[in-house]
């Protein structure tokens, strides 16, 4: 079974830009914290199916992007009052009110491979030799159940399996995530 971006309705309005390079949270390094007390940078997801991203932290700033996909992962890179400066998987940045963001962890399967003939195998176990549960197209959004630092257990359109952590945008290399 192939799970495609079209099937899942991956849609957000933004021009093509270069992929963002994920920052690593190396073990033993001091963690930067924002005004909220939470670590920076960190991943979150969009709560709503229509989210404005603004050029500055406030309603008086113009809208720069309109995201049309609930659950789309975002990387928070800065905080100001109740506004969060975020980066999407294409590297576009803007400010979103915290009320429109969720701590629910989602990720995009290899967004840097979008438009290429690449297929990503969702595996039954966290092992390259494991049985394939589904074939995922690059750019499809899934929900993270857990990551162990090397593999992420994710659900895509009802199919749950494992992807190498290096194949997702929404979890840092080496990061451990528990749902």
pLDDT number for residue 29 = 62
Are 23 and 31 in contact by the 8 Å Cβ rule? The answer is no
The arithmetic mean of pLDDT across residues 61-90, rounded, is 97
- Of 45, 51, 98, nearest to 75 by C-alpha is 45
**Strand (E) or helix (H) holding 161:** strand 159-164
With bands split at pLDDT 50, 70 and 90, how would you rate the model's confidence at 35?
confident
**Stretch 48-60: mean pLDDT:** 97
Average pLDDT of the chain, as a whole number: 86
Over residues 73-80, the mean pLDDT reads 98
Which residue(s) pair with 108 in the sheet?
Answer: 141, 169
């Amino acid at each position: 079974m192939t799970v495609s971006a079209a099937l899942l309705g991956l849609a957000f309005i933004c021009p093509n830009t270069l992929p963002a390079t994920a920052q690593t949270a190396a073990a033993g390094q001091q963690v930067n914290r924002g005004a909220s007390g939470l670590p920076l940078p960190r991943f979150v997801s969009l709560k709503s199916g229509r989210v404005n991203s603004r050029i500055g932290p406030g309603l008086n700033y113009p809208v720069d992007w309109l995201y049309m996909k609930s659950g789309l992962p975002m990387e928070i890179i800065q905080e100001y009052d109740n506004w969060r400066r975020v980066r999407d998987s294409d590297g576009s940045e803007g400010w979103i009110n915290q009320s429109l963001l969720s701590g629910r962890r989602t990720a995009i399967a290899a967004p840097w491979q979008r438009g290429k003939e690449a297929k990503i195998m969702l595996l039954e176990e966290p092992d390259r030799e494991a049985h394939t549960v589904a074939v995922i197209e690059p750019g499809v959004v899934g929900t993270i159940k857990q990551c162990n630092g090397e593999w992420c257990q994710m659900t895509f359109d009802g199919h749950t399996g494992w992807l190498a952590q290096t194949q997702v945008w929404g979890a840092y290399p080496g990061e451990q995530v528990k749902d």
